[in-house]
Amino acid sequence: MYLLFDLDGTLTDSQIGITRSVDYALRTVMNIKTEDLSTLTNYIGPPLINGFMENHHVDLETSKRCVKAYRERYEKIGLLELEVYKGIPEMLETLHKAGFKLAVATSKPEVFAKQILKNINLADYFETVCGATLDGKIDTKDAVIAEVLNRLNDLDKDNCLMIGDRKHDIEGAKKHNIKGIGVLWGFGTKKELENAGAYKLFKTPNEFTNWIISKKDC
């Protein structure tokens, strides 16, 4: 069985690095200073190009400038400003030993995702790490999942799950007829994930691990 994991809000708590980099972009491009960075958590999960347009109501060209400014800070500092959620290393170790095939499917640029996973010593657990491209050709969760499926060409969709904390993970999985698992330790709410059509919801990594191991043993 293949398990596709989101990164931000699922494997790592990346709030500080992302929100500080969004704040930097808003200040640099539009001279907007955000006093409470927790108000910027909506940027965690969906593609940034959409985030600036939806959350700050800017046009496409301004959003592109914001993304460029964001990456100026993020690639130097922001990608280091994160923590691995409690229980994630143990979950991955258990799943790997149990024979599950693991992959990462993230809307974060792939080059950043690979560097982060290497920095936090989790890279070796994954068959492939797939993310957005810097040129924008792959930028939605739907497109990222499509690329993962292309790379894992022996994948059986009936034996595949997408695990993530936001509606984009669940909706992207559904477009490819894959069941989406919602995790409640990230940035999405129970209501958001239920409305998106999550197959199951889990409160902790250990709870998910016990469930998926039991399904495998059936």
- Positions annotated as catalytic residues are 6
In three-state secondary structure terms, 102 is: strand
Q: Which of 18, 92, 56, 168 is nearest to 65 (CA)?
A: 56
Please return the burial class of 117, using the count of CB atoms within 10 Å of its CB with bins 0-12, 13-18 and 19+.
Answer: buried
User: Cα separation of 76 and 84, whole Å?
Assistant: 19
User: What single-letter amino acid sits at 28?
Assistant: T
In three-state secondary structure terms, 70 is: helix
For the chain, give the number of residues: 218
Cβ–Cβ under 8 Å, residues 78 and 67: no
User: What single-letter amino acid sits at 208?
Assistant: F
